[in-house]
Structure formats: C-alpha cells, structure tokens
Copies of this chain bind each other. A is one copy, B any other.
C-alpha cells in the first residue's frame, strides 16, 4: 500500500524514469522499503492510470520520464500528514522466542547469542554506511541520517535485549550439577 507513496515521494523531488527510481530505491530507501523492478514498473503504470503521475518526456531506449501531478502531490501530502503509520508487528525473530522452551537450554542460549551478534553486525554495517554516504546537506541526506539513527538505536536496543535475555535464562535454569 505504501509503495505508491514512496514513488510519489521520490517524484516530488523531481522527474525520473522507472530505472532512475529503482536505483534511488537501492541507494536510499532499500533499508526501509525495498522494491523490485516488477513492483515499481507496475506501480508506475497504476499511478499513471490514476492521474497521480504523468509521462513528462520520452528519451532514448524507450525511457519514460515520469513527473508527479498536482493530484499526486495532494495524495502524498494527505498520506504524510493524515494517514497513521501501521506499526510493524511481524517478527519471526520474536516468534521463535515463544518456542524457546522446545529447545535444549544450550540451543536456546545459542539462539539469543546469535541474535545479539546479528544486531551488533547490523549496527556495524550502519555505522559503516554512515561513514561512506549521506554526508551531504541535501534534504534526502539529512532525513536519511535521521532514519539511520533509528536503525542505530534499534540495533543497539536489540543487542542489549538479547544479552539481557541470556542472563534471564541463565539465572532461571542453572545447569544441573555434574
């Protein structure tokens, strides 16, 4: 439901072709809203049919440059200011936690340890990403950094949680004496 708004949001920054958008997705939005070719081109077609975007120019290789229309701008504004974000709830990482008692104690601890590791890796990757890109002062970089900060805090939180959970488990069920 939100891909259309992601497209509108990007086109609000200037006209672009499907191909352009695809690269922008990979570069900046991939972490919060990945999209495949088929989805993107399909969505562009639907948006055009709905009058929210229009073909502004045609280039070589069949390139079609899309531009946002006034109707599209209205829709984007409405989505940004009036539609409540749906909180993400599905997490197979947490789902597994519910079933940790189906495992041996060591296996359960290993699982939590692994989650701490993964969170640490994700954190590291974001720090790295922050060093290489998004140093600019342009709006997308500024807000990109704010979004990235979310990722940094989230991964740190997850790591701390996974370590805390290991302690809980260790305290609760001390291993049998040899």
Contacts and interface: CB of A to CB of B under 8 A. Distances in A.
Contacts of A88: 88, 90-91, 93
A147 interface: yes
Nearest to A138: B101
A160 to B, nearest CB: 7
A102 interface: yes
B149 A33 contact: no
B153 A165 contact: no
A19 interface: no
Q: Chain A: interface secondary structure?
A: helix
A45 to B, nearest CB: 21
Interface string A93-106: 11111111111000
B157 A90 contact: no
Interface string A3-47: 001100100110000000000000011011110000000000000
Contacts of A147: 94, 97-98
A146 interface: yes
Interface in A154-178: 154, 157-158, 160-161, 164-165, 168, 172
Contact of A29 (B29, B95, B103): B95
A9 B103 CA distance: 11
A132 interface: no
Interface in A115-162: 115, 118, 122, 139-140, 142-144, 146-147, 149-150, 153-154, 157-158, 160-161
